[in-house]
Amino acid sequence: MRVLITGAAGFLGSHLADRFLADGHSVVGLDNFITGNPDNIAHLAGNERYEFVRHNISTYTYVAGPLDGVLHFASPASPVDYLEHPIATLKVGALGTHNALGLAKAKGARFFLASTSEVYGDPLVHPQPESYWGNVNPIGPRGVYDEAKRFAEAMTMAYHRYHGVDTRIVRIFNTYGPRMRPRDGRVVSNFIVQALTGEPLTVYGDGRQTRSFCYVSDEVEGIYRLFMNGDAEPTNIGNPNEFTVRQLAELVVELTGTKSPIVTRPLPTDDPKVRQPDITRARTLLAWEPAVSLREGVMRTIEYFRQVL
């Protein structure tokens, strides 16, 4: 196959390109580097089955030649990024999704939307199944990301129902691993960078809020299986093992051997209190579930950051 991946220089987009290339497919990567990192795709330079286009998917987009898949991963994806780029975040969720869907329709390609667990907002149902409609504040500071992704899901389903486009929607839960940006504002990278540089580890609130952390190789495998063998309904891909943010901080302190203290800061607006995927659907439909433990994944991620800091 020949597939287009938007956000190809991002954390997940670059790993996904590697996965398609490893199976013998060809990849066109597209990114404007607003949050993507050229270093994430530097190893692909010279690969005859990989081509890169520097472009903003939120503007008119043309890709020459046939495409079998369009995978839309372009978007700021951490609170630091989407609070710094609120309008670009809304645009890539709306205009970017529209352009990517139009391209898939024109090429007769399968369309794959990278959505997010943030569509569930601060959930009133726990764990979160795909049938849960969410509890989102549309005008809060996080609304630019949450509502952009909710709109993108609605647009994807409209193209599926009205135009007959073959579509997939993945709802991605917290994912971590190599190629995260050191200061991207995500909790795993924050804690590891703070620990390795001797800074205090900053826990927001009392640290009892929970997250479910999926190592990147597990996440990408679930995404790949969903693209190949899934259906049009949204599918959670994430690790169902739940940890408090304070437990994560304590694990990072242990594994890095840092002398850094753990300090608390006020909880940001609309920060979810719980986050845990119900992955019954992924287990049943895709025979997928994560294999890498949090301890093992954090150790691998620490080694990556030791090299890049």
Write the pLDDT tens digit of every residue in 34-77: 999 999 999 999 999 999 999 999 999 999 999 999 999 999 99
Going by pLDDT thresholds of 50, 70 and 90, the confidence category of residue 268 is confident
Q: Which domains does the chain have, with CATH numbers?
A: 2-175+216-237 (3.40.50.720), 177-211+241-275+292-308 (3.90.25.10)
- Name the residue among 213, 217, 201 with its Cα closest to residue 252: 201
> What CA–CA distance (Å, rounded) separates 100 from 134?
25
The residue that leads in pLDDT, 299 or 269, is 299
Question: If you average pLDDT over every residue of the chain, what do you get?
Answer: 96
> What CA–CA distance (Å, rounded) separates 22 from 177?
19
pLDDT digits (tens, 9 = 90+) for 201-254: 999 989 999 999 999 999 999 999 999 999 999 999 999 999 999 999 999 999
Report, as residue numbers or ranges, the catalytic residues.
145
Res 270 pLDDT > 80: no
Res 142 pLDDT > 80: yes
> What CA–CA distance (Å, rounded) separates 142 from 114?
17
User: 102: which residues sit within 8 A by CB, 6+ positions away?
Assistant: none
pLDDT of res. 274: 87
Q: Is residue 261 within 8 Å of residue 201, measured between CB atoms?
A: yes
pLDDT of res. 272: 83
pLDDT of res. 79: 86
pLDDT digits (tens, 9 = 90+) for 172-202: 999 999 999 998 989 999 999 999 999 999 9
- Residue 308: Cβ within 10 Å count: 12
48: exposed, middle or buried (C-beta count within 10 Å: 0-12, 13-18, 19+)?
Answer: exposed
pLDDT of res. 41: 98
